[in-house]
Structure 1
Amino acid sequence: MKKVLFATTALVATAGVAAADVTFGGYGRFGVYYDEGAANETTIESRFRLVVTATAESDNGLSFGAQIRYQANEHADGYSTRTAGFNTPRFWVSTGPFTVSVGQTLGALEFMPGAYAGSIGLTGLGYHNVLYTYGGADAYSSGSSGRQGVDVLYASGNWGVHLSYSPDQTTQNTGLTDTNERIAGYVSYTMANYTFAIGGQSSDAAGDTDAVVTAAGTWGNLEATLMYADNGANDDAYGVGATYQVGSATYISGYVTQNNDPAVDDTYAGIGFQHRLGGGTFLEGGVVDAAGTTKADLGLRFSF
């Protein structure tokens, strides 16, 4: 992420602030997307994401920050209307190993170590490797209002802790009526080449995820993660995701998962590659068997 420092005399107008700056970063991607059985099986895929981060540090060492994202995609795909625009902001203050974040909720289960193990392709191809129920736990949204709440994070040594809370959203976001209240958290521990994490959630909705467990290890060029989720009334899911470095700049990733939700009871499997071209540029692609439907993508991505 490249840093843009504005004139601190103009930017820092509040007495007692030691330093402040604004950074811009993000990525762009473009390529082709294939969805077997769709009205248009092969379509153009694109996304531009701009992340704006403003930070300041007080004289006593407290770090303050705020972040907002702008995201624009191709006209439409199989998942959403893909309208362009800014999401709602997130604010935080940090001291030592603690960070308290308010505004758009990050979501503890979304940020668990190993939650996205084995992700493939240019687009993620539906992210069937992620076992907690999408919509059944708080998750940071890049292109919409998201859920408003509070996150508390702690990272020190081998330990990591993340707690998140989102109240009834009826009065939190204009136009959103959601009376569901969620409290979630995870604890992780890293020991040598292994990382273990266990998370849970208390929610008013029967279909929300109740618990998630991940166990990851690295052996030379191979990183693999075992995953399990208890998705409440939607039953459970389990699987494995892995990434293997096959060359100095080439990585192969894949996963196999089983979702026991009676509505979608099936096995999902995917494999993909990433070739790093240097300078923050990548060639990426993958293919997924999504409950009997083949999906694939191929394209280029660059970070800035």
Structure 2
Amino acid sequence: MKKILFATTALVATAGVASAEIAITGSAEIGILGGDGLSAIAGAYGNNTQFHTDIDVNFSMSGTADNGLTFGASVDLDENGAFSNTTQGGETYFIASGPFKLSMGDTDGAFDAALTEIGIGGSIDDAHTTHAGYNGNSGLDGTYDGQIATASYSASGFTGYLSVEIDDTGTGDAVYGLGFKYAANMAGLDLSVGLGYQTTDTNGGAAGGDIDIWGISLATTFSNGLQAILNYSDRDAAGVSTTYTGIGLGYSMNALTIGVNYGEFDTAGATTNGYGLAVNYDLGGGLVAQFGYGAEDLAGPGGTSDQWSMGLAMSF
């Protein structure tokens, strides 16, 4: 059935424009999960053990103009609000020429694009990365409707990013972002350094709406399968500063991957932290056995919570 689907897709793609391509990819998950505690991560399961299923289909389209300009779009059918012009929901678009690229839609802003997340490995419901000590490096992305325009330039291991997210209501200032990433191999060591900054005023110049964030990440991969990632960021909202420090460690050997991460937020001396664990075994052919665990310690009445999951992740 899948071969017939791809053959039909290719035929439709080539019938209109010879240089156009359409690809269909997908993923699915089955397993079991649970949690314990009072916070949001455990509350999502009602503190009860239950089955988990999920499926995702992605359509990607690309083409090349007569002058060599490349262009494309993709849509994730697992996202809500797809094809919406007001609330972003899984569709992205791009135009590229040589080292220059412009992406719009459900894409990363400059801060997120430049920094590397500390999560290593996977779990069927992201149990290892949804604890309160995890920072996905989203920065100020999603401050408004999530429609982002990001321009990038890449050359010799260096990539620079500029991004904008606009308030469609006209109330707040746009979110402006600037980011830089450099990746290189030094004596067998893969090294990636990222630096990002974003700023906005959600009150459009009125007092109390200023938000700024800057962050840095360092990621290394050793020849023996070890991996280490460090994150640090400082967010200032209306004069209140929140710092974040996170670390991720991983090890891969043959089909086995193990990843652990820990992160901590500090706001005026009040801390929130959490840690996660992922264990993956690649069964081949796009099938991976996954176990995930996450736990957190909240500042305030939320107390401690944890969540876990185990199952199979499929990619097509």
Q: TM-score, normalised by structure 1?
A: 0.80
CA shift in 2, pair 1:202/1:121, >3 Å: same
- 1:181 corresponds in structure 2 to 174
Is 1:214 equivalent to 2:217 in the alignment?
yes
1:268: which partner in 2? 274
| Cα deviation, residue 88, structure 1 | 5.2
Show the 5 A alignment for 1:160-171: 160-170=159-169
Equivalent residue number for residue 93 of structure 1: 95
Shift of 1:265: 1.8
Report how many aligned residue pairs link the two structures. Answer: 277
The equivalent of 1:198 in structure 2 is 195
Structure 2 CA distance for partners of 1:237 and 1:119, relative to 1, 3 Å: farther
* Amino acid of the structure 2 residue aligned with 1:19: S
Deviations 1:156-189 (A, max 9, x none): 2210122211111337xxxxxx735211121011
Partner of 1:175: none
State the match for 2:74 in structure 1: 67
- Asked if the contact 1:133–1:208 (Cα under 8 Å) also holds between the matched residues in 2, the reply is no
Alignment map for 1:123-134 (pairs within 5 Å): 123-125=125-127, 126=130, 128=132, 130-131=134-135
| Distance apart, 1:232 and its partner CA | 1.8
Aligned to 1:25: 25
Q: Distance in 1 between matches of 2:159 and 2:134?
A: 20
Displacement after TM superposition at 1:50 (Å): 1.0
- Distance in 1 of aligned mates of 2:149 and 2:24: 24
Distance 1:301 1:90, change over 3 A: same
Mapped contact 2:112–2:196 kept (Cα < 8 A)? no
RMSD between aligned residues: 2.9
- Partners in 2 of 1:263 and 1:179 — Cα distance? 30
Q: CA deviation at 1:228?
A: 0.4
| Structure 1 segment 101-250 matched on structure 2, within 5 A | 101-118=103-120, 120-125=122-127, 126=130, 128=132, 130-131=134-135, 137-138=140-141, 147-170=146-169, 179=172, 181-192=174-185, 193-205=190-202, 208=211, 210-219=213-222, 220-233=224-237, 235-245=242-252, 247-250=253-256
Q: Which has the higher helix share?
A: 2
1:298 alignment counterpart: 310
Mean alpha-carbon deviation: is it higher for 256-265 or for 97-106?
A: 256-265
Q: Which amino acid aligns with 2:178?
A: G
Asked if structure 2 preserves the Cα contact closer than 8 Å seen for 1:119 and 1:127, the reply is: no
Q: Residue 5 of structure 1: SS of its match in structure 2?
A: helix
Seen in structure 2, the aligned counterparts of structure 1 residues 5 and 237 have a Cα distance that, compared at 3 Å, is: same
Unmatched tracts of structure 1, length 5 or more: 13-17, 73-82, 172-177
1:289 maps to 2:298: no
Deviations 1:27-49 (A, max 9, x none): 11121221213334222222211
**Partner secondary structure for residue 29 of structure 1:** strand
Moved more, 42-51 or 267-276: 42-51
CA distance in 2, matches of 1:162, 1:85: 25
Q: Secondary structure of 1:19's partner?
A: coil
2:248 is the counterpart of 1:251: no
Structure 2: gaps of 5 or more residues: 38-42, 84-88, 203-208, 298-303
Offset from partner CA, 1:241-288 (integer Å, 9 cap, x none) = 12101x310000011111113597222111121110101111111111
Specify which structure has the bigger relative contact order, considering alpha-carbon pairs within 8 angstroms and separated by 6 or more residues. Answer: 2
Moved more, 1-10 or 27-36: 1-10
